[in-house]
A and B are shown apart, each in its own frame.
Chain A
Amino acid sequence: MKEKTLIKVKNMERHYKSGEGIVRALDGVSFEIKEGEFIAVMGASGSGKTTMLRILGLMDDLTKGEYSVQGLNVEELPEEERTYYRLTQLGYVFQDYALMNEMSALENVYVLSLMEGNTKKESIATAQEALEKVGLGNKGDRIPDQLSGGEKQRVAVARAIAKKPKILFADEPCANLDTHTSEQVLEVLRNLNKNFRQTIVMVTHEQWHTKYASRLIKLKDGKIISDKKLRK
């Protein structure tokens, strides 16, 4: 069965002004992402991997090039539609969890479903299911301060997957975690990919994280220097 193409990126460029000069954070990046892939993006600091993920997550704009999701040129969407697209189609896991400190784990997850227009009851049920998937079904009433780093990151993953996004972006999700906790989070991502065919794009610094991925893209100075499949 031929896998469907989800994302198409062509000659993506992102330039920043820096003093008198211009920094080319991304310099002509092109690739495609197919449904069900688990892609790890690696590169040294300043290679452009986080910039790329932010653009893919519709949080930043590209300077030149094309970016489409399932044929829709999402770059050209007005701000309001981009917000709605982020809400309904994309999931994003931040390096530092980015949870609302005054909301419980369950509230952090179900607020998005509520925003989509579901009832509170439906939203809570979906959020509970997502928390179960990341192994936190019994900790929904805890606020972030009452959770460990790994648990917070799993809540962030649950928030991202509860709405069943087309693609899940994870920006160094284990950067603040120890090895054991990192393994737990990565295992959650692998299960989502394996059991639910969740498409995942994960930026990471650690080589060993790539064993969970099916494809590895390496960046250097804003350019792709390697793009290879890791496992079937």
Chain B
Amino acid sequence: MLNDIKVGLLSAKSSIKRGNKKTLTFIVFVLALIFMNLVFLPSMIGGMMGLFTGFMQYPYGDIVVEPSGDNIYINNADNVLQKVRTVPDVTFATKRLDAGASIQYKQKVVGSSIIGILPSEEYGVSEYPNIITEGEFLGDISRDEIIIGAMLVEGYFGSEIYDNLGAVRVGSLVDVTYSNGEERTYKVKGIMEGTFELVDLNALVHYKEIEDVFGVDDGKATSVVVRVKNLEEVAETKEKIITAGVKEPVFTRDEKSDAILRQAMQSIGMIDVVSKFVSLIVGAALILIIIYINVLNRKKEIGILKAVGISPHSIVLSYAFISMFYVSLGIIAGLILYFFLMFYFTINPVTFYETMTIIPEIQVGLIINSIFTMLILSVIAGILPAWRVSKENILDAIWGR
């Protein structure tokens, strides 16, 4: 076997060293495109997924604690908060009370989710205070005030798609009818715009308002939202929260996003899967064709090698080495091209829905997988045709019959 490897390497080395450089360049170029095809579109889709996952911080923070079983509320949310805050990796935590309601302004009525928040605590937990495009965020004494989502306001992005409240503006008075029939009038203190339905179709009021409206006991919440120091270690932090004694279900943002995005992104996810599959098939076929043509062009040489006593194993190994060399160069060229495009699209992101920018996501796992896939394909693509030719009759191979 060692002799086969030595001869295979010598044969491959001389083929590469003295072979046609234009052909080599062309093959490497095509292989680079195949590699690009494997990693580029998934990176763009990954960027899109990242963008949507990012939106999930509004309802879920980094970690969210939810009521257990069929319960509507976390019964002792303050106790939960106390336990959560003992975990060193937690930077902030707050409780929220969500409710269903309809909002009316003049003749226009829309259904919406109203989220009861503790305004000063939200600064540490969510981005809500940072996405106020008109007016101001709620304060701790904002009991008769409301923040409404931009898609509920005529003229804002997305408002044309959904029912809206017309020309409602900061300072307008809106009537809110909660799901239990209780009615309240609020002055619009601000308009928030997150360019995402989960944010822009909702409204925010003070936590105490929802407590009052539904008459719930002090300390109840529909969720406890948590911000962590290090997002990379969010899974570990979640475990620590559970260890700290929180009995209610605890989820990371990704876990919650997965469930929601799995539905919302189903079509995109399918495109991603199909694109990867097609890229792989096309890549495999192209590599096989390139190497096969290469082997066919050298059929006579294979016949000669066999005739003078070189073992078929050496011949097959030689083509596997050549094929791996081509593919390695293709991968390197593909990586250069890929990172160049990633750099370009990071500086010039693709704009989606006018306001959302998609920055492609470099997925190390995907790149490593693609590299291994290409290398495995190259070995198969090199071995298969060479093995076939090496099994042919010597005279047929030499005389190209």
Contact surface of A with B, Cβ cutoff 8 Å:
54, 57, 59-60, 80, 83-84, 86-88, 90, 92, 94, 98-104, 107, 111-112, 114-117, 120, 143, 159-160
**In the complex, which residue of chain A has the Cβ closest to the Cβ of B6?**
A114
**Which interface class (under 10, 10 to 19, 20 to 34, 35 or more) fits B?**
20 to 34
**Contact bitstring B1-12, A, C-beta under 8 A = 1, else 0:** 011001100110
Stretch of B52-60, B149-157, B241-249, B307-315 on the interface side? B307-315
Would you call A83 and B309 a contact (CB within 8 A)? yes
Would you call A117 and B3 a contact (CB within 8 A)? yes
Question: Could you list 7 further interchain pairs (A-B, Cβ under 8 angstroms) beyond the known A98-B308, A115-B314?
Answer: A84-B311, A86-B309, A102-B17, A114-B10, A115-B3, A116-B3, A160-B308
Contact among A54, A111, A143 for B10, CB-based, below 8 A: A111
Would you call A102 and B310 a contact (CB within 8 A)? no
Contact among B11, B17, B18, B311 for A83, CB-based, below 8 A: B311
Cα–Cα, bound, A13→B14 (Å):
40
Would you call B309 and A88 a contact (CB within 8 A)? yes
**In the complex, which residue of chain A has the Cβ closest to the Cβ of B16?**
A102
Interface residues of B in 372-401 (CB under 8 A from A): 394-395, 398
A54 to chain B, nearest CB (A): 7
Q: Please name all residues of chain B whose beta carbon is closer than 8 Å to the beta carbon of A60 when the two chains form the complex.
A: 395
Contact status of A59 and B312, CB under 8 A, knowing A98-B304, A114-B7, A120-B6: no
B306 within 8 A of A: yes
**In the complex, which residue of chain A has the Cβ closest to the Cβ of B303?**
A98
Q: Please name all residues of chain A whose beta carbon is closer than 8 Å to the beta carbon of B11 when the two chains form the complex.
A: 100, 103, 111
Contact among A84, A90, A100, A117 for B305, CB-based, below 8 A: A100
B183 within 8 A of A: no
B19 within 8 A of A: yes
Cα–Cα, bound, A82→B17 (Å):
31
Cα–Cα, bound, A60→B119 (Å):
91
Would you call A159 and B308 a contact (CB within 8 A)? yes
Would you call B14 and A103 a contact (CB within 8 A)? yes
B266 within 8 A of A: no
B236 within 8 A of A: no
Cα–Cα, bound, A103→B19 (Å):
10
Q: Please name all residues of chain A whose beta carbon is closer than 8 Å to the beta carbon of B258 when the two chains form the complex.
A: none
